[in-house]
A and B are shown apart, each in its own frame.
Chain A
């Protein structure tokens, strides 16, 4: 099967930038997604990128995609304590199923 890999933890200070990295294995994925999960809650879609794009920016969020290396990153500028959560990278296969990474726990200290 295909695996989506993420580092498990990231700790930053409030106001710094956070960069969460992800590698995926299916080069045929059409879309790649970043979801946020707060404690005890469901998954909230933060942003996604189409596979023919290199970068997408949405307010404090910047997604970079390197198709050659199958590497995806999410940069959060000016990280706030409210950004503390688990961030999941996911890829779209066969038009319906999402394959998720195990999630990166972002801890923001003030």
Chain B
């Protein structure tokens, strides 16, 4: 089945130690998104790639970076995780178009713990 895969599902890191979260998709969608979801809050968009074009949200901290080496893969790098970065990180994909609902397909998420 076509899907969005996130690895790992659970990640524990130490304060200040860089960490990379991975997302891959078999849907061949051209847009990939990273959301941060803290406990009892709405998912918040960090950035997205429209094909190779990177779009950063204005309030996304510089500590968060992303890479998209090809259509299928997208990475979220947290350069120096702080305690406040502990959250669920959700990857999503879509294929916008004039006749499309712009439906976003989500992966299962990676829960990040910062010690």
A contacts, CB < 8 Å to B: 4, 30-31, 33, 35, 40-45, 48, 50, 88, 92, 95-98, 100-103
Contact = CB atoms under 8 A, between A and B. Distances in A.
Contacts of B108: 41-42
Given A42-B90, A42-B109, A96-B94, A48 B42 contact: no
Contacts of B43: 43, 88, 98, 100
Interface of B: 4, 6, 31, 40-45, 48, 50, 55, 90, 92, 94, 96, 101-109, 111
Nearest to B91: A42
Contacts of B101: 31, 48, 50
Contacts, number: 55
B96 A48 contact: no
B58 to A, nearest CB: 10
A96 B104 CA distance: 9
A4 B45 CA distance: 14
A33 B101 CA distance: 10
A31 B102 contact: yes
Given A48-B101, A96-B50, A96-B96, A103 B106 contact: no
Contacts of A97: 45, 48
B79 to A, nearest CB: 24
